[in-house]
Structure 1
Amino acid sequence: MIVYRLSRARFSKDLSGRGAELAGGRWNSKGTPMLYTSDSIALCTVEVAVHMPLGIVPFDYQLIQIRIPDDVTVKEFPETKLPEDWKSFPHSNATQVIGDQFIVDQEQLVLKVPSAAVQGTYNYLVNPRHPDFQKVTIVGTEPFEFDKRLFVK
């Protein structure tokens, strides 16, 4: 399976989940590493856009294509099993509890979760602490330019 990630060029080779570990996110608490990826380039774009203040166009980004081996099992967390406030803004602590437990359990390498930003699409959360993590590879990177219309005031 190929998944996508957008990141600043200086972090384009870093799959450690360190950024999420430092900042925390919808699916992980500060102190818990997690690699956030998406099922499409379009979803990556929206996921970056919803975290940027209006008027600031992200620059110096790379699109990273990441291969997750087909032989690993993916844990799916369907929307019907999520807490009622799972896509609230700011995000709920309940989703962080789910993601943190996924990392600790180490039962699967990948957790598939619905996107809070784009209905009907999915993010794939990768556990950098899982024994199979070394099988995750970058298959391509290229400069990515955002459409400025996404960020106008």
Structure 2
Amino acid sequence: MRLWRLVRQPFLALDGSGAELSGARWTSPGRPVVHFASEAALAVLIVLRYLPRDLQGIDQDYLLGWTQTEEEPEEIPFTPDPVEKRARGDDWLSSNRSLLACVPSAVLPEASLILMNPRHPQAGSIAPLSVRPFSFEQCLDLPPLPD
């Protein structure tokens, strides 16, 4: 399975420190977790959701990254309740029962987020990301359609 991330250069490490600081939709603050997307386009869409609409002044050090794994993610059942959602994610992390978990994306529910527990004994089996530079300005600067 290929796992995708769109990150800025300083946040390339697969250590879960970003989610540990502020928490995330499926986990509470204080719990490291690495978020991957099931598709490259979903990784881009997730980041784009949080950027200013005019893209003025955005950082220019984004990298689109991917890694491969044979590990199968555990499915965490969906719940619309945000408190229960975090409880389910926190339980998964605390149990240490699997390296990866799969949850539906809030941005595009037809696709999945893959959560990785960086404290799981098999976390070292996930190779560092292969990356390429990514520019929102180039990606979204389309020529006009012909008449």
Give the TM-score of the pair, scaled to structure 1.
Answer: 0.82
| Matching residue of 1:96 | 86
Q: Give distance in 2, aligned partners of 1:112 and 1:42.
A: 17
Q: Structure 2: 5+ residue runs without aligned partners?
A: 142-147
| Matching residue of 1:7 | 7
| Matching residue of 2:24 | 25
| Matching residue of 1:62 | 63
Q: Give distance in 1, aligned partners of 2:20 and 2:100.
A: 16
Structure 1 letter corresponding to 2:121: P
Q: Give distance in 1, aligned partners of 2:110 and 2:93.
A: 24
| Matching residue of 1:88 | none
Root mean square deviation, CA, Å: 1.6
Structure 1 residues 53, 29: CA separation in 2 closer, same or farther (over 3 Å shift)? farther
1:84 to 41, 60, 80: 80
3-state SS, counterpart of residue 29 of structure 2? coil
| Matching residue of 2:103 | 113
Structure 2 letter corresponding to 1:82: F
Query: How many matched pairs?
Result: 137
Q: Percent identity?
A: 31
The alpha-carbon deviation at position 84 of structure 1 amounts to: 3.2
Structure 2 letter corresponding to 1:59: Q
Greater RCO structure (CA 8 Å; 6+ sep):
1
Task: For residues 117-142 of structure 1, give each alpha carbon's deviation from its aligned partner in whole angstroms, at most 9, with x where no partner exists.
Answer: 01310110000010000101125111
Give the TM-score of the pair, scaled to structure 2.
Answer: 0.85
The answer to whether the Cα contact below 8 Å between 1:115 and 1:121 also exists between their aligned partners in 2 is: yes
The answer to whether the Cα contact below 8 Å between 2:78 and 2:103 also exists between their aligned partners in 1 is: no
